[in-house]
């Protein structure tokens, strides 16, 4: 997790589906709050493109373009990539990995009872939503959140139920898996953000699919046309209205100053102004607010390098944070780390090509040389497979196997290992090449049974023929290549 010393700001995370250009509902419902939060929180904001597939799996032609449009709107609205990470969900694969692990521990009932599961099915009767992805999307959402281990999730009051499921999933995960006895996924708090009501121009909820939305990037004339064509709360000029139930009144409540809002509220409720006048004032207020956003959007659209940089940098920052969590998660779950396998190989390789210490050159007797080679090998191999010294040339493994070790230096014909038959389970041949490297061949019990015991005393040679190590035992030639650096018999 982020070191509070390095980053004292609490972490917050939120995402938005790529439905194309964002509308004012998206802006006032979330984006505006995000812009404020980026100054006081360590924020991660993402385009939830995998989530778009949970309902629009059969219509992906514009998915990539829509993701770009959303990032453009993020930037145009004032999100600053210097202050927060802006990224696309599918660029950070760890989300999918954590989702998969969550799917192993989450009871189906938890997902079936999420209110939006039934509601959306009813809202979209012509869409087949009997898909695993649709049922599991709150779980993907839980992974999206928990992978950054944020302190806070900024949401509107109606979305708290989703964060509650996320907390439940975190609790369940922590029950099953711990790292050094400690839970690793903190339960995030809901950061309730103001979500002012904003009706679409037809008085229904503002939504792109209803065709009743004003887009963040709409030109001034388009905004004017949409507002002027908007349904109002006063069918007749003499009717009194309620700005809270009128799409135009909503716009004033969000974008007009106090004075203007007071003026239209009084005029509407007393029927003392016309809706035409009220709409003209709303056009002015909205366009004044959107002008700098529109301008920024125009500039950014002409600067693909900035967009590219933002998305790449965001993916990088998010991946680092997500991978930090996943490393802990994988370990807590008990999965074999790839790194652990690589370390194992490195250790094996380092013992397979062990350099003989310089001291061997100063040794006065063959016996001394022998001791130096065996000691160097023992020191190395002991780090991976502890071996207890029994007597000269004999070691005992953890499992009690008796290991006979022999060393020889390369001569013209290869390596001649001189020794007598002794009752051992494993034999190690340390073949020192002309460059001063030891090649250890670890011959397991089965090999000894099948080949070794048939040789007489002192007549075992190892030769390299076309790079393949061949052991000559009596009249038999056996390849021992596969045993070089293979330490499994030493367990």
**Nearer Cβ to ligand SF4 (268/403):** 268
- Closest separation between CB of residue 232 and ligand SF4, Å? 4
**Nearer Cβ to ligand SF4 (96/276):** 276
**Binding interface with ligand SF4 (CB under 6 A):** 232-234, 241, 243, 246, 248-249, 264, 268, 273, 275, 278-279
Considering only CA atoms, which of 156, 153, 188 is closest in space to residue 169? 188
Instruction: Give, for 260, the enclosing helix (H) or strand (E).
Output: helix 258-269
- For residues 438 and 369, is the Cβ–Cβ distance under 8 A? no
- Closest separation between CB of residue 238 and ligand SF4, Å? 12
Q: In Å, what is the CA distance from 428 to each residue of 123, 203, 284, 367?
A: 73, 85, 88, 17
For 242, list phi and psi in degrees, rounded to 5: -130, 110
**Nearer Cβ to ligand SF4 (98/286):** 286
Q: Give the contacts of 422 (CB within 8 A, at least 6 positions apart).
A: 394, 404
- Closest separation between CB of residue 214 and ligand SF4, Å? 15
**Nearer Cβ to ligand SF4 (19/256):** 256
- Closest separation between CB of residue 268 and ligand SF4, Å? 3
- Closest separation between CB of residue 27 and ligand SF4, Å? 20
- Closest separation between CB of residue 273 and ligand SF4, Å? 6
**Nearer Cβ to ligand SF4 (16/275):** 275
| Strand 402-409, strand 426-432: pairing | parallel
DSSP letter, residue 420 = -
For 465, list phi and psi in degrees, rounded to 5: -115, 115
**Nearer Cβ to ligand SF4 (248/326):** 248
Distance, CA of 285 to CA of 306 (rounded, Å): 30
**Nearer Cβ to ligand SF4 (145/199):** 199
- Closest separation between CB of residue 293 and ligand SF4, Å? 24
- For residues 83 and 43, is the Cβ–Cβ distance under 8 A? yes
**Nearer Cβ to ligand SF4 (220/273):** 273
Q: Helix or strand or coil: residue 182?
A: strand
C-alpha 196, offset from chain centre: 33
- For residues 303 and 72, is the Cβ–Cβ distance under 8 A? no
- Closest separation between CB of residue 47 and ligand SF4, Å? 34
**Nearer Cβ to ligand SF4 (43/251):** 251
Distance, CA of 390 to CA of 397 (rounded, Å): 10
- For residues 78 and 292, is the Cβ–Cβ distance under 8 A? no
Distance, CA of 248 to CA of 269 (rounded, Å): 14
Distance, CA of 311 to CA of 316 (rounded, Å): 9
**Nearer Cβ to ligand SF4 (268/283):** 268
- For residues 373 and 363, is the Cβ–Cβ distance under 8 A? no
Distance, CA of 472 to CA of 232 (rounded, Å): 99
- Closest separation between CB of residue 278 and ligand SF4, Å? 3
Which tokens is 328 given?
Answer: 């802990």
- Closest separation between CB of residue 228 and ligand SF4, Å? 10
């Amino acid at each position: 997790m982020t070191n509070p010393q390095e980053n004292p700001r609490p972490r917050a995370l939120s995402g938005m589906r790529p439905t194309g250009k964002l509308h004012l509902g998206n802006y006032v419902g979330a984006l505006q709050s995000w812009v404020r939060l980026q100054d006081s929180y360590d924020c991660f904001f993402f385009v939830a493109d995998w989530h778009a597939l949970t309902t629009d799996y059969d219509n992906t032609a514009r998915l990539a373009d829509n993701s770009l449009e959303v990032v453009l709107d993020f930037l145009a609205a004032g999100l600053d990539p210097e202050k927060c990470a802006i990224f696309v969900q599918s660029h950070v694969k760890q989300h999918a990995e954590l989702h998969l692990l969550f799917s192993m521990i989450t009871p189906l009932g938890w997902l079936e009872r999420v209110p939006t599961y039934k509601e959306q099915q009813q809202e979209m009767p012509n869409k087949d939503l009997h898909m695993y992805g649709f049922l599991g999307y709150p779980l993907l959402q839980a992974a999206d959140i928990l992978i950054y281990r944020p302190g806070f999730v900024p949401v509107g009051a109606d979305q708290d139920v989703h964060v509650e499921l996320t907390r439940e999933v975190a609790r369940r995960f922590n029950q099953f898996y711990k790292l050094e006895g400690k839970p690793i996924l903190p339960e995030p708090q809901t950061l309730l953000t103001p979500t002012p009501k904003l009706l679409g121009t037809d008085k229904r909820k503002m939504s792109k699919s209803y065709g009743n939305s004003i887009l963040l990037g709409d030109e001034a004339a388009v905004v004017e046309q949409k507002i002027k064509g908007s349904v109002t709360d006063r069918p007749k000029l003499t009717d009194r209205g309620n700005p809270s139930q009128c799409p135009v009144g909503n716009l004033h409540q969000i974008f007009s100053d106090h004075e203007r809002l007071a003026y239209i509220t009084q005029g509407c409720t007393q029927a003392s102004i016309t809706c035409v006048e009220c709409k003209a004032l709303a056009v002015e207020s909205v366009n004044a607010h959107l002008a700098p956003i529109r301008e920024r959007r125009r500039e950014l659209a002409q600067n693909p390098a900035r967009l590219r940089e933002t998305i790449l940098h965001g993916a990088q920052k998010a991946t680092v944070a997500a991978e930090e969590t996943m490393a802990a998660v994988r370990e807590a779950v008990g999965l074999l780390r790839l790194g652990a396998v690589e370390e194992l190989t490195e250790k094996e390789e380092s013992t397979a090509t062990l350099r003989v210490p310089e001291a061997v050159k100063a040794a006065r007797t063959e016996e001394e040389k022998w001791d130096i080679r065996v000691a160097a090998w023992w020191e190395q191999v002991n780090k991976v497979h502890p071996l207890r010294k029994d007597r000269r040339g004999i070691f005992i493994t953890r499992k009690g196997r008796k290991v006979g070790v022999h060393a020889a230096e390369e001569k013209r014909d290869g390596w001649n290992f001189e020794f007598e038959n002794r009752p051992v389970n494993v034999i190690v041949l340390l073949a020192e090449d002309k460059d001063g490297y030891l090649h250890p061949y670890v011959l397991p019990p089965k090999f000894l049974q099948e080949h070794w015991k048939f040789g007489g005393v002192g007549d075992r040679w190892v030769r390299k023929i076309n790079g393949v190590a061949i052991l000559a035992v009596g009249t038999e030639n056996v390849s021992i290549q596969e045993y070089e650096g293979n330490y499994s018999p030493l367990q």
